[in-house]
């Protein structure tokens, strides 16, 4: 019998392996999170950033062994990750290369015993990304559209939608998820720390329910509060007869404000 609370979906991914005696030290100097604190089998989110703290690639970092790490990133980004890490490697003894794997997202259940898995909150609570493993036979498969709705509802930023070279990590809520504010230096650390301790992001992500729309609005559709443009839509999808959206909205706009998106009223998702 299929467990209706246990769901799975294929997750498009690309992978980069970093291994060698200097792998830990090198990644600790290059990535935004404290990868040195990971024990074998543990994982964390991290960012590969420019010196100005623009996102090159969002990552999940899995420590497979003391000197062996697997970086999971979005489709189309692995070659850029390899290029950046090789460019700054210099004398570090670390092999950096693409790898081939397959990811399945499992929701509503613990990973099967013996399966390599990375915890994920990208689609809501109680999720894991299984590597090179089949989903449980009693789990219900989610379509890509259903998985996208769950990502939007979880306010998870995605590369090419909420995240690109224009966006600061703090605007996308990535500092809380993927940045250590106490570790040593890495590219982009100074701008991130300066904004965190001395200022604030001018905009942030919000999940909105759009009234009266049958078709999701396209990316970058303007959001208005009264006569003023206060943001833009980044992702939208149909969810049980209504449209839900993920959007950047200026922080001075009240959280409970009713906004206008293409003539439709937009309210905080309940």
Fold of 7-136: Alpha-Beta Plaits (3.30.70)
Summary mean pLDDT of the chain: 95
**CATH class of the 175-268 domain in this structure:** mainly beta
End-to-end alpha-carbon separation of the chain, Å?
A: 32
Is 20:94 a contact under the CB 8 Å cutoff?
yes
Q: From residue 98, how far is each of 71, 73, 91, 135 by CA, in Å? A: 9, 11, 20, 24
What tens digit of pLDDT does each residue of 14-34 get? 999 999 999 999 999 999 999
Give the pLDDT mean for 109-124: 94
pLDDT of 5 above 90: no
Domain boundary assignment for the chain: 7-136, 175-268
What's the predicted TM-score (pTM) here?
0.94
Give the pLDDT mean for 170-187: 96
pLDDT of 174 above 60: yes
What tens digit of pLDDT does each residue of 30-49 get? 999 999 999 999 999 999 99
User: pLDDT band at residue 1, thresholds of 50, 70 and 90?
Assistant: very low
- What's the alpha-carbon Rg for the chain, to the nearest Å? 19
């Amino acid at each position: 019998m299929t467990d209706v609370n246990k769901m799975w979906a294929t997750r498009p991914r690309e992978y980069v392996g970093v291994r060698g005696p200097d792998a830990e030290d090198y990644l600790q100097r290059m990535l935004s999170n404290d990868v040195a604190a990971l024990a074998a089998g543990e994982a964390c989110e991290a960012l590969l950033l420019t010196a100005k703290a623009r996102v090159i690639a969002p990552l999940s970092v899995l420590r497979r062994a003391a000197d062996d790490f697997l970086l999971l990133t979005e489709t189309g980004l692995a070659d850029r990750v390899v290029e950046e890490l090789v460019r700054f490697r210099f004398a570090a003894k670390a092999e950096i290369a693409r790898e081939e794997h397959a990811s399945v997202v499992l929701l509503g259940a613990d990973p099967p015993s013996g399966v390599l898995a990375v915890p994920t909150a990208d689609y809501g609570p109680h999720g894991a990304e299984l590597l090179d493993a089949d989903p449980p036979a009693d789990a219900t498969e989610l379509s890509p559209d259903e998985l996208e709705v769950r990502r939007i509802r979880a306010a998870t930023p995605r590369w090419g939608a909420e995240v690109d070279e224009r966006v600061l990590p703090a605007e996308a809520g990535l500092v809380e998820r993927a940045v250590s504010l106490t570790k040593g230096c890495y590219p982009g650390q100074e701008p991130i720390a300066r904004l965190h301790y001395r200022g604030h992001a001018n905009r942030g992500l919000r999940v909105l329910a759009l009234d009266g729309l049958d078709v999701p609005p396209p990316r970058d559709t303007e959001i208005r509060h009264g006569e003023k443009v206060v943001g833009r839509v980044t992702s939208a999808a149909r969810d049980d007869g209504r449209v839900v959206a993920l959007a950047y909205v200026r922080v001075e706009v009240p959280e409970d404000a009713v906004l206008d998106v293409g003539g439709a009223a937009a309210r905080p998702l309940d």
